[in-house]
Amino acid sequence: MMAVGSVDAYFCDAYADLVSRSIRAKEKDPTAKIGSKIGNLKLSVTTLLEAPEDGWRWRNAARDLVEKQSVLSIEEIKNLFNQFFPEGRKLFTAATIGDWITHPDAKTRMFGITRTDFKKLSNQQRGHAKDEARKKFNSLFDKHFQRRHDCIHNCDRPKQALRPIGSGQTSKAIDDMKFLIERCHEAFLDEFARYLQRCGFESVTRNAVGAPALK
């Protein structure tokens, strides 16, 4: 439960971080255009007034938006974060899942195919394999997230009997959570500066809000 809970905490914090940096960039350069999802956010006036007079007020306000809801859903993660990615590089799509399949830390249980077998496929075959791998990955995490829900709300009794759990199963679940967070974190680091650049922010502004340097 703690490992899955860490996923919720991470994505809440990551969302607040990216939103607050985007708003701070807009403060510094009003001529640039931030995305409509951020521009139309309804932030708490009370939080803004009570927070410190620096970037933390935006971070606190953004966090208020998500901390009362669960981010334990692949669809919700996509909804919150894919606004920072252009078409062709959005998270959890067939276009980007190939790099995750071939990552050294990837496990067959995550995607239903080994790195070696995937690399042997033709381009046409890879298209189908990536779509199936994406479905497999989403399903795996749906089960992890549902298990935590059952533990908290139903004493781990989705039907009647207690469900078994062992150290091996727990270790695999923790590895899965780590993989999800690390791959997304890498993607955020790679993409956020590009997002700000697409919005029209110059390097001086990007650096001022702590965006990673463009590669």
CA gap 44, 21 in Å, rounded: 17
Tokens in use for 84?
């920072």
How many CB atoms are located within 10 Å of the residue 102 CB? 14
User: What does the block give as tokens for 136?
Assistant: 């497999």
Q: Give the number of other Cβ atoms within 10 Å of residue 129's Cβ.
A: 21
Q: What is the pLDDT of residue 158?
A: 55
What the block records as the tokens of 85 is 């990615």
Q: What's the confidence (pLDDT) of residue 144?
A: 86
Q: What is the pLDDT of residue 84?
A: 96
Helical ranges in the chain per DSSP H:
2-28, 36-39, 45-50, 55-67, 74-81, 94-101, 108-111, 115-120, 123-154, 167-199, 203-208
Q: Are 141 and 74 in contact (CB under 8 A)?
A: yes
- Report residue 158 as tokens: 């989705």
Calpha distance 10→30 (Å, rounded): 29
Q: What is this structure's pTM?
A: 0.85
Give the CA count within 13 Å in the CB-facing half-sphere of 32: 22
Check residue 71 and give its pLDDT.
81
> What is the reported pLDDT for 179?
97
Q: Do 94 and 130 meet the contact criterion of CB atoms below 8 Å apart?
A: yes
* C-alpha closest to that of 44 among 53, 57, 33: 57
Task: Tell me the pLDDT of the chain (215 aa) as tens digits.
Answer: 677 778 888 998 899 899 989 989 998 999 999 888 888 877 767 766 666 666 677 777 777 777 766 788 899 999 999 999 999 999 999 889 999 999 999 999 999 999 999 999 999 999 999 999 999 999 999 888 887 666 665 655 556 556 666 677 789 989 999 999 999 999 999 999 999 999 999 999 999 999 888 76
Assigned token pair, 108: 């067959």
Which tokens hold the place of 207?
Answer: 């650096």
